[in-house]
Structure 1
Amino acid sequence: MKYISTRGGMEPAPYSAILLEGLATDGGLVVPEVIPQIDAAVLEAWRGLDYADLATEVLGLYATDIPREDLARMCRAAYSGEKFVSPEIVPLTPIDGGITLVGLSEGPTLAFKDMAMQFLGQALEYVLGKLDRTLNIIGATSGDTGSAAEYALRGKDGIAVFMLSPQGRMSDFQRAQMYSLEDANIHNIAVAGVFDDCQHLVKSLSGDLEFKRANALGTVNSINLGRISAQMVYYIWSWLRASDAVAPGERAGYEVSFTVPSGNFGNILSGHIAKSMGLPIRRLVLAANENNVLDEFFRTGIYAPRGAAETHATSSPSMDISKASNLERFIFDLLGRDPERLSAAWAELAETGRIDLRAELPRFVEEFGFQSGTSTHADRVATIRATHEASGVVIDPHTADGVKVAREHVEEGVPMLVLETAKPEKFPDIVFEATGLRLGMPEHLAGLLELPQRVTEMADDESELREYIAARALT
């Protein structure tokens, strides 16, 4: 299995190499040269596997240059009982209205980003050790990616982390998780701006090949295909668990739908690739908050990202994103995997501030299964309250966005699975507003908010960031 760029200017490279690069060498995004296929027989062979073994099988289709025994060891280390609270790793919990929650927040930072980051931490250390290299990770976070990356990479040999976050745009819990880490290889930088400003800085530095090579830069945000591939596992796991109750003779082609709270499009992109592999997914429903650029795109066919001034600070802050980095990978597929058409679309975006794909709009649902919807603060509060009253389950605000939109797209006879985003304890204010409950801190994180915090505040200044990283990068 080799990997190419959406923009056509990169020589095919193996999985180990693209883990370290993040962006493709031509500024595009890395995608598989060919999507591996699975069928009903393969899925049945995987049905009895635990999560770590399933991850080994799925990732083995992508990481073909890594020996299977090494990959199995990494997956076993990533998805262990020491790191995940639930023995299933990803439990499924039915709630009201025919909806089931896919529990992705059982890991060390109580957010779905742990699912990919724990594997990526193992894989990066493995590849760097084989190559006797160092890597300086630069990333941007709107809340959960940063802490998941830092907890996965803290203390790892040959790795330093430079994580950018928007000043004042994360919850107290999210800031405490990141800024309280004292590991020497972790550098937190709070940028005066919004997430999209942080993301722009990361892209600018990653796109400067001379600076990137001089400072051995890599990324672990959702543009890193290692994360996308690891996230495919829980789509397959969820389908297997949802279809366990179906008679063996009726499982082939048994369809489920997924609703995914989305900001940067990485999580739902993994579902898109899983569907492209042959997993029987009927609908992929994208749930946006007030920053609903992606909902507008999937409803109208026009992608028109907004600027920082038009990006709202909401009560589901991890989705406060108006420029979805991973959308380029979907548009690449939409345009027939044609790098010239993709590059033309991005040239149109640079010139006009939008991409007009209305001619392709019928294919969004018919071919790819995409639908979408928007949720507001009032919707989140009402959904958290209603879900708790009906089922006793408390959900976080991002998951509430997903449940609200999922209710609008439930089809009779088709299970609707909503991907959980984080534990509600990370967002106590909106939970209290909705339910009157004061959620306590999980026992293993008691005292987190009182720990001293270590963070460097910085202007939205690329030159200042370059100097900061160059002075501290591992060589």
Structure 2
Amino acid sequence: MKYISTRGQAPALGFEDVLLTGLASDGGLYVPEYWPQFTLEEIATWRGLSYAELAEKIITPFVGEAIPQNDLRQILHDTYQGFDHSAVAPLTQLDSNQWVLELFHGPTLAFKDFALQLLGRLLDYLLARRSEKAVIVGATSGDTGSAAIEGCRHCDNVDIFILHPHQRVSEVQRRQMTTVVADNVHNLAVQGNFDDCQAMVKACFQQQDFLQSKARLVAVNSINWARIMAQVVYYFYAALAVGAPQRSVAFSVPTGNFGDIYAGYVARNMGLPISQLLVATNRNDILHRFMANNQYSKEDLSPTLSPSMDIMVSSNFERLLFDMYGRDGAAIDQLMTSFQQQGTLTVDSWRWELTRQLFDSCSVTDEETCQTIGDAYRNCQYKLDPHSAIGVRAAMTCQRDQQIPMITLATAHPVKFPEAVVRAGLSSPELPDSMADLYEREERYTVIENELADVQSYVAKYARPLN
């Protein structure tokens, strides 16, 4: 398997190099040269496999010969053994044909554990084989940071620097990052918003000379293909549990950066019968405005009760555009350059209409989010976090076919966002036993100006040498 850039100018790379590169040298994102294909008959034989066993089936074609099969099998086993539910990603039924896929049973109680627990192990494995060290510079709107830190805290060959918007993540999210005291973990609280953090991370990858060849720079955000690859698995897992591939399934996905729902798009391209992918957003709704009106444009960022989705520009959307334009890298390069200059883009109407055959979208207000949290508890005795509630609200509003199971991705445990739960009229969720002392733990982080030079200087100062 080779990987190509969405902008068409960077060299094609194998899995190992893509994992260790992140953003392509031409500013694009790496995607597989082709989509691995599974028949319905083959998918049907996977029913009953454990999560790790299923992950091996789906991930192996993307990895190819980069990692021996026995080693990959062990890495996957170790990755998901640390989750606190034996099913890893259990399904809960809300009503006759509405389901919630619980993706919060990992060590940081968010869906990003599925990819980042795996990514940390893959990085450490490959770096050890190459006798190298690496530096991760990542941005987070809340959950990516803690999941990345938890995935890399024990890595011998990785230093990790996570940028989060100062005072714009929940207290639980912040403390999950800043209470990890390890020599290779560095938390930077940037005096700006998430998009500022994300822009600086991208700039670091485009201007890596600030490290003066001191270390290899590796992406941990969802621009790294391995993140998407890992998330594809739970679409297959959930679909099999409700009767696929003998029947179609639909998914509602709370998303800001488009990575999680793009993984569903990949699963469909690989042969999983998905009839509808529903983009669920809060009032920072750039994705909804595109799906509803063919208008992808920047607007002012608004703080909400679902801060992990408070994103103005969706990094992974470029990967979908690449397929929309027939994998024409030059066209995407021109399109994204224009977007960077003008802050808006539209696509040819026929391309947009073709995309809408699969995708729908919904924007949900804070008031509607709280109402949905309250309704779910009154009707099912089930507490939703605000992001998952947005997905449920969208599912109940926009489900095309009531006969097709609709699965909402529950992306976080409600304890991470108690403000929304309390505002919905419910008691504040309790921390699980593993985090019972979270508010008493010592925090360690550095508040830093919203300046690229300051961030690069800090990383260069504290990163360990390459070898």
TM-score interval (norm. to shorter): over 0.9
**How far is 1:210 from its partner?**
3.0
**How far is 1:350 from its partner?**
2.6
SS at 2:253 equivalent: strand
Letter in 2 for 1:364: T
SS at 2:62 equivalent: coil
CA contact (8 A) 2:145 2:177 kept: yes
**How far is 1:61 from its partner?**
1.1
Letter in 1 for 2:174: R
Residues 310-355 of structure 1, C-alpha deviations (whole Å, 9 max, x = no match) = 1011100000001101000000010001101111211221332211
CA distance in 1 between partners of 2:78 and 2:123 (Å): 13
Corresponding residue of 2:318: 328
CA distance in 1 between partners of 2:345 and 2:61 (Å): 33
Is the deviation greater in 149-158 or in 97-106?
97-106
Corresponding residue of 2:287: 294
Say whether 1:41 aligns with 2:41: yes
CA contact (8 A) 1:205 1:212 kept: no
SS at 1:226 equivalent: helix
Q: Which of 410, 426, 430 does residue 440 from structure 1 map onto?
A: 430
Corresponding residue of 1:157: 156
Say whether 1:262 aligns with 2:251: no
Q: Which of 346, 351, 365 does residue 356 from structure 2 map onto?
A: 365
Corresponding residue of 2:330: 340
SS at 1:79 equivalent: helix
CA distance in 1 between partners of 2:428 and 2:389 (Å): 18
Within 5 Å, which residues of 2 pair with 1:130-149? Answer: 130-149=129-148
> Aligned residues: percent identity?
39
CA contact (8 A) 1:96 1:387 kept: no
Q: Which of 357, 366, 375 does residue 377 from structure 1 map onto?
A: 366
SS at 1:11 equivalent: coil
Q: Which of 378, 381, 406 does residue 416 from structure 1 map onto?
A: 406
Corresponding residue of 1:191: 190
Corresponding residue of 1:398: 387
Letter in 2 for 1:207: Q
CA contact (8 A) 1:288 1:319 kept: yes
Structure 1: which 5+ residue stretches go unaligned? 245-250
**How far is 1:474 from its partner?**
1.8
CA distance in 2 between partners of 1:212 and 1:240 (Å): 46
CA distance in 2 between partners of 1:44 and 1:324 (Å): 34
CA distance in 2 between partners of 1:109 and 1:347 (Å): 36
Please tell me the root mean square deviation across aligned C-alpha atoms, in Å. 1.2
Corresponding residue of 1:247: none
**How far is 1:288 from its partner?**
0.4
Letter in 2 for 1:201: M
**How far is 1:204 from its partner?**
0.4
CA distance in 2 between partners of 1:358 and 1:443 (Å): 52
Corresponding residue of 1:285: 278
Letter in 2 for 1:78: T
CA distance in 2 between partners of 1:291 and 1:239 (Å): 29
SS at 1:223 equivalent: coil
CA contact (8 A) 1:259 1:402 kept: yes
CA contact (8 A) 2:109 2:412 kept: yes
Q: Which of 428, 431, 434 does residue 421 from structure 2 map onto?
A: 431
CA distance in 1 between partners of 2:139 and 2:83 (Å): 24
Change in 2 beyond 3 A, CA 1:168/1:450? same
Residues 77-121 of structure 1, C-alpha deviations (whole Å, 9 max, x = no match) = 0010xx211100010000136310001000100000001111111
Within 5 Å, which residues of 2 pair with 1:85-104? Answer: 85-96=84-95, 98-104=97-103
Change in 2 beyond 3 A, CA 1:213/1:326? farther
CA distance in 1 between partners of 2:340 and 2:426 (Å): 47
Within 5 Å, which residues of 2 pair with 1:48-197? Answer: 48-64=48-64, 65-80=66-81, 83-96=82-95, 98-197=97-196
Within 5 Å, which residues of 2 pair with 1:190-209? Answer: 190-209=189-208
Letter in 1 for 2:296: Y
Tell me the TM-score normalised to structure 1 length: 0.95
**How far is 1:209 from its partner?**
4.1
SS at 1:343 equivalent: helix
Within 5 Å, which residues of 2 pair with 1:2-13? Answer: 2-13=2-13
Q: Which of 465, 472, 475 does residue 455 from structure 2 map onto?
A: 465
Residues 2-49 of structure 1, C-alpha deviations (whole Å, 9 max, x = no match) = 101011112221111111111012111000011111111220222121
CA distance in 1 between partners of 2:449 and 2:305 (Å): 24
CA distance in 2 between partners of 1:139 and 1:396 (Å): 24
CA contact (8 A) 1:20 1:218 kept: yes
CA contact (8 A) 2:232 2:266 kept: yes
Letter in 1 for 2:201: V
Change in 2 beyond 3 A, CA 1:459/1:275? same
CA distance in 2 between partners of 1:60 and 1:212 (Å): 33
CA distance in 1 between partners of 2:83 and 2:379 (Å): 27
Say whether 1:353 aligns with 2:343: yes
Letter in 2 for 1:41: E
SS at 1:13 equivalent: coil
**How far is 1:358 from its partner?**
4.6
CA contact (8 A) 1:139 1:221 kept: yes
Is the deviation greater in 409-418 or in 395-404?
409-418
**How far is 1:155 from its partner?**
2.2
